[in-house]
Structure 1
């Protein structure tokens, strides 16, 4: 089982690296392909658009199929499409290959989240979820900066490296991950839309997913044009921007490790409220900072808190209906990537229209405030507290 934990960590690491890799490369690719600032964000948005659209199909289908086969197919296609990004000759071919990589990721990442409750006992599920999420955090701390350093020599190298490594992970998964055939669904044709009915008819579920959308809308907008802002305001090169992003990833990684201890000291509602308020204030203040060192410190703080909050949000989503975890995981992936697609587009428009990062920071703060309000009003935090109290009473 330890091999599977490491494997899931590495799969999320390469997917996270590939998702965010475009951000520090935008200035280079924008110049090379000759595209305007307001449309450059689509090189990131094409990936998330593909992932958002096809995750809606991947989740319900994977609930009726062997998750191992879906994981292997998705990861192999992800490897090939990412490798092809290194051969893009213009803006549109880059968007096409990024779109295909996003589609492949839509069939891969949800299988990791949905497989964990199947393969591990209840006592270990939260820890393994934290390790898998740490893969995303480390991708920002190490994967994206390493990609930036490789790109300083040749912009294609990061894509080729991720593609080859992903193919090796697919081979490892073939031997390490056991088959996970659906229980009670053999011989039945999976109905894609019917599996969303329990989520669409639940006010708590609708509110939780809407709140999840808002938090990714804001955070992705802030991240999408981070590289552009670093270049314009602080005159940093691609590799120097990679060093700044290290602090984002280190904060995220630290937060994901500290999350379980925070949850013991504070309730979920307290954690969400305090964390969101601090992050909102930091994002609004960030564009007015004139020192790169202070920027690094603020990003470290922001992503340390987000490293605590995101696993909490994923746990809230997975608890909505344990019988359709694949559907929930894929809808969460689709929601996240739809928000990232729109966020990257909004960031480009705001950055171009207001000539800088201040409008992006304000937009992020507003989105996070909306997310907090919807999380509270949905009742999901109260529901989880009642479940925890019920388990405590049962134990006594």
Structure 2
């Protein structure tokens, strides 16, 4: 079990590194491809669009296929398409290869979330979710900064290395991960009918909307934080990488401390208080006069985010026991749909408000909406149980 969870940690680390790598590289790619600030944000959206669209297909299919084979297919395609990013000579080539990387990632990471409840006892699911999400956190703590440092020599280098590491993961998955029998026996049922069945539940609809609101604000801030740091403080790529260390460190610590926070506060209180802290800090960092305070602000924001993310993922997986791939796929579609819309809106807000304030206020409002929806969801669940 430890081998598999370590491998899952590594899978999420590599995919997370590739996911977040583009954001700190935007200033460099903007110059290399001679594109505007608004257009540069589409390079983040390309990956998210590919992921969001194909995850809708990959999720239900993984419920009727062997999840290990789906994971192998995804990580191999992810390796090749990420490697090809280094050969992009213009914006549209990079856009295409980033979209392909997102498509193949959509067949990989949902299998991690879907198989955890099968592999571990129910009382350890949240902790196991924290280990997997910590892979994403470490990708920010180490992966993204290392990538930005490598990019100081050439922006192509990180893509070579990530592609090679993904190929190694293909081999390890083949050797370590067991076969998983399909959980859906009716292979003739409508693929998208499974989504309809899931979303017929009111608590499921509210849960996903709240998750979407939380993420759209988070990704709006994360996507253009690098541009803001470059424009306001004239930070280089490596300097931006230093700030990203604090982002990842907060997320990493939060992922592992989340289970302790849940015990002390309870799931609902931990989720709402963590979201509220994020909303307040989003706005405050805009007025920070120094890089030191910005580092502290980002650390605290992602400490809160890392703590509540495993709670959200465990909650979403609890919505069903027979279509976990569908649930995981919809969770990830929500994630990358929020990335797409968040990056797009952030670009507009950054230009229209001539700085970061429009982006951070928007993120704060998203947190308020998320809290309202989580509260409403709890009320709906209590009403269901009382009937």
TM-score, normalised to structure 1, is 0.95
Counterpart for residue 132 of structure 2: 132
Q: 1: distance between equivalents of 2:311 and 2:86?
A: 35
Contact 1:110 1:329 in 2 (8 A): yes
Contact 2:183 2:323 in 1 (8 A): no
Give me the whole-angstrom Cα distance separating, in 2, the residues matched to 1:354 and 1:197. 40
Paired residues for 1:179-190 under 5 Å = 179-183=179-183, 185=185, 188-189=187-188
SS for the counterpart of 1:178 is coil
Q: Distance in 1 between matches of 2:95 and 2:374?
A: 34
In structure 1, stretches of 5+ residues that fail to align are: 388-396
Counterpart in the other structure of 1:279: 278
Which residue number corresponds to residue 310 of structure 1? 309
Match in the other structure for 2:356:
357
Deviation digits for residues 263-295 of structure 1 (CA, Å, limit 9, x no counterpart): 111122211222122111110111111100000
Distance in 2, Cα, partners of 1:127 & 1:196: 27
Residue equivalent to 1:73: 73
Q: Do the aligned residues in 1 keep the contact of 2:203 with 2:380 (CA within 8 Å)?
A: no
Q: Distance in 1 between matches of 2:196 and 2:346?
A: 33
- What is the SS of the residue equivalent to 1:153? coil
Q: Distance in 2 between matches of 1:292 and 1:176?
A: 43
8 Å contact kept, 2:58–2:329: yes
Q: Distance in 1 between matches of 2:368 and 2:50?
A: 27
* Matching residue of 1:330: 329
> In structure 2, how many angstroms separate the alpha carbons of the residues matched to 1:123 and 1:345?
39
Match of 1:390 in 2: none
Q: Note the alpha carbon deviations across 1:223-247, whole angstroms, 9 max, x for none.
A: 0011111111111100110010000
Displacement of 1:124: 3.1
Report the Cα offset of residue 383 of structure 1: 5.2
Match in the other structure for 1:63? 63
Deviations 1:316-338 (A, max 9, x none): 11111122111000000001100
- Secondary structure in 1 matching 2:182: coil
Q: Distance in 2 between matches of 1:219 and 1:22?
A: 16
Displacement of 1:375: 1.2
User: Does 1:50 pair with 2:55?
Assistant: no
Query: Would you say the 8 A contact 1:60–1:191 is kept in 2?
Result: no
Count of residues paired in the alignment: 386
Does residue 110 of the first structure (1) align with residue 110 of the second (2)?
Answer: yes
Secondary structure, aligned partner of 2:322: helix
Q: What is the RMSD computed on CA atoms of the aligned residues?
A: 1.7
**Structure 2 CA distance for partners of 1:154 and 1:335, relative to 1, 3 Å:** same
| Number of the residue aligned with 1:348 | 347
What CA distance in whole angstroms lies between the structure 2 residues aligned with 1:233 and 1:350? 16
Partner of 2:13: 13
Unpaired segments of 5 or more residues in structure 2? none
How far apart, CA to CA, are the structure 1 residues paired with 2:175 and 2:70?
15
Shift of 1:158: 0.5
**1:393 aligns to what?**
none
**Does residue 225 in structure 1 map to residue 235 in structure 2?**
no
1:257-296 to 2 correspondences below 5 Å: 257-296=256-295
Deviations 1:340-360 (A, max 9, x none): 001001111111121110100
- Report the equivalent of 2:213: 214
Would the alpha carbon gap of residues 22 and 380 (structure 1) be closer, same or farther in structure 2, given more than 3 Å must change? farther
> What is the distance in 2 between the residues matched to 1:249 and 1:211?
23
Partner of 1:4: 4
1:144-183 alignment, distance < 5 Å: 144-183=144-183
Cα separation, partners in 2 of 1:382 and 1:194, compared to 1, 3 Å: closer
Residue 248 of structure 1 aligns with which residue? Answer: 247
1:80-126 deviation digits (Å, cap 9, x = unpaired): 00010111100111010000000011110000100111222334322
Larger mean CA deviation between 329-338 and 367-376 belongs to: 367-376
**Structure-2 change in CA distance of 1:95 and 1:204 (3 Å):** same
Contact 2:184–2:323 (8 Å) recurs in 1: no
Q: Aligned in 2, Cα 1:353/1:137: closer, same or farther, shift over 3 Å?
A: same
1:234 and 2:258 equivalent?
A: no
- The answer (yes or no) to whether the contact 2:130–2:310 under 8 Å persists in 1 is yes
**Aligned pair 1:25/2:25, yes or no?**
yes
Q: Is the 8 A contact 2:48 2:340 kept in 1?
A: yes
Task: Return the offset for 1:380.
Answer: 7.3
State the distance in 2 between where 1:252 and 1:162 align: 21
